[in-house]
A and B are shown apart, each in its own frame.
Chain A
Amino acid sequence: ILNVEQSPQSLHVQEGDSTNFTCSFPSSNFYALHWYRWETAKSPEALFVMTLNGDEKKKGRISATLNTKEGYSYLYIKGSQPEDSATYLCAFSAGGTSYGKLTFGQGTILTVHP
């Protein structure tokens, strides 16, 4: 079983704070790293998929970076808003005959207080 770790497990911030969390994954047989946002009572929603070492992606106030050589990705949220409160999941996909299946980390639960 592949090991994908996210930290911290949970985070409480004030509105306007910037925050970041980490996803670590196996550096061998890497194919892609995905980030999802999962709001309560909704389906997980895709944020980013990154495939190349050094990739940076941005969507509004949220951005992500990727280091495949050392096996980590950071997700940044600038100026957090209450609507950013959600569980953030990262997922790793390996090359080879994995049929595209993703291995997920435990998630980081973000709560943004007004």
Chain B
Amino acid sequence: DVKVTQSSRYLVKRTGEKVFLECVQDMDHENMFWYRQDPGLGLRLIYFSYDVKMKEKGDIPEGYSVSREKKERFSLILESASTNQTSMYLCASQAPGPVYGYTFGSGTRLTVV
């Protein structure tokens, strides 16, 4: 089974800090995704990557950037954290192709104070 590991379960950061959320998968999947989940809004796509060094903006990329230097690792970066980025962040990995579902990490609940 594919395992997707997110580095932190809970994180508290201060406004203006640079924040790194790390995600590692162990099954050599090409596609990786970052979503945030907010009550009533569901999962919204921030960024995704379909190969090393490749990245595409999702629906809500503002205030975020990503890095994919190695196939197994996809990092989400909050350049200058703000309180409206307080959320649950989910990373997912997927074999290529729309018929394949995601394997999710366990999520990082980020609070920006």
A residues contacting B by CB (< 8 A) are 1, 4, 6, 9, 31-32, 34, 36, 41-44, 46, 49, 51, 89, 91, 93-95, 98-107
Interchain residue pairs with CB less than 8 A apart (22): A1-B59, A32-B98, A32-B99, A34-B102, A36-B101, A43-B90, A43-B104, A44-B90, A46-B103, A49-B99, A49-B100, A89-B43, A93-B99, A99-B48, A100-B31, A100-B100, A101-B48, A101-B58, A101-B98, A102-B102, A104-B42, A106-B41
Q: Give the CA-CA distance A106 to B48 in the complex, in Å.
A: 20
Contact A99 B40 (CB under 8 A): no
Q: How far is the CA of A104 from the CA of B104 in the complex (A)?
A: 14
Q: Which residues of B line the A interface, CB within 8 A?
A: 4, 31, 33, 35, 40-45, 48, 50, 56, 58-59, 90, 94, 96-107
Chain A, residue nearest B33 (CB): A101
CA distance A4 to B98 in the complex (A): 16
Q: Interface SS of chain A: helix, strand, loop or mixed?
A: loop
Contact A99 B56 (CB under 8 A): yes
Q: Given contacts A46-B102, A104-B43, list 4 more A-B pairs with CB under 8 A.
A: A41-B106, A100-B50, A100-B98, A101-B45
